């Protein structure tokens, strides 16, 4: 008897050569990554170049641009501190998408004080906190800014008996494209 031949191993087809004139895929340009602008690092309009957000000096109250500040016993890496009452106007100078912060009474007030925080864009109030008291946790702030040209941060005394307390906009930043 003749031996039975061994079966041939499975054969995989050779890879096809790419067509000689196939176009190379064109990469799709991606949108620029958002740029965060920390309020504590903004320049004032007299020293800026008008290409990024700047604090408008003529229309702004005193502003302390800080590293490490405390609200309700929590420490934040950066932010700005203002007296109450105060108003700080920022010219956006580019397409911006949002303003984010944590608002509260600065811990330097030793748990005293009561303040109310508001955010305006182009003169229209877009966000307002309830009354925030000294020692209470910071209130998260998120305000869409698409299509707006100015941002104004306002702090008001929470009661007629509140005098000269410090309000914080912690982790305060504007996101722009």
Segments making up each domain of the chain, as ranges:
37-164+171-176
CA end-to-end span of the chain:
83
Confidence (pLDDT) at 165: 86
Residue 50 CB contacts under 8 Å (≥ 6 apart), including other chains: 91, 93
Confidence (pLDDT) at 51: 85
Confidence (pLDDT) at 2: 53
Confidence (pLDDT) at 113: 86
Q: Would you identify the CATH topology of the domain 37-164+171-176?
A: Jelly Rolls (2.60.120)
Confidence (pLDDT) at 87: 96
Confidence (pLDDT) at 112: 81
177 residues of the chain, pLDDT tens digit each: 555 555 555 554 555 555 555 556 555 555 556 789 999 999 888 776 788 999 998 888 888 899 999 999 999 999 999 998 999 999 999 999 999 999 999 999 887 889 999 999 999 999 999 999 999 999 999 999 999 999 999 999 987 776 678 999 999 999 998
User: How far apart are alpha carbons 75 and 139 in whole angstroms?
Assistant: 14
What would the DSSP string read from start to end of the chain?
Answer: -PPPPPPPPP-PPPPPPPPTTPPPPPPPPPPPPPEEEEGGGPEETTT--SSS-EE-GGG----EEEEEEEETTEEEEEEEEEESSEEEEEE--S-EEEEEEEEEEBGGGTT--EEEEEEEETTEEEEE---EETTSPPEEEEEE-TT-SEEEEEEEESSTT--S-EEEEEEEEEEE-
Confidence (pLDDT) at 167: 95
Confidence (pLDDT) at 97: 96
Residues 84, 162: contact at Cβ < 8 Å?
Answer: yes
Token look-up 């800014």 returns 145
């Amino acid at each position: 008897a003749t031996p039975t031949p061994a079966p041939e191993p499975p054969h995989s087809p050779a890879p096809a050569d790419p067509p000689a004139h196939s176009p190379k895929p064109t990469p799709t340009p991606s949108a620029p990554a958002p740029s965060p602008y920390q309020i504590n690092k903004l320049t004032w309009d007299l020293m800026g170049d008008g290409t990024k957000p700047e604090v408008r000096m003529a229309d702004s109250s005193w502003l302390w641009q800080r590293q490490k500040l405390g609200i309700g016993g929590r420490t934040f890496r950066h932010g700005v501190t203002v007296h109450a009452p105060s108003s700080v106007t920022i010219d956006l100078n580019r397409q911006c998408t949002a303003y984010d912060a944590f608002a509260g009474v600065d811990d330097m007030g030793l748990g005293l004080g009561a303040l109310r925080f508001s955010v305006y864009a182009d003169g229209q109030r877009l966000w307002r906190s309830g009354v925030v008291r000294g020692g209470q946790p910071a209130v998260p702030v998120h305000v869409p800014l698409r299509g707006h040209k100015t941002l104004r941060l306002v702090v008001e005394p929470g009661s007629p008996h509140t005098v000269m307390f410090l309000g914080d906009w912690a982790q305060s930043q504007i996101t722009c494209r």
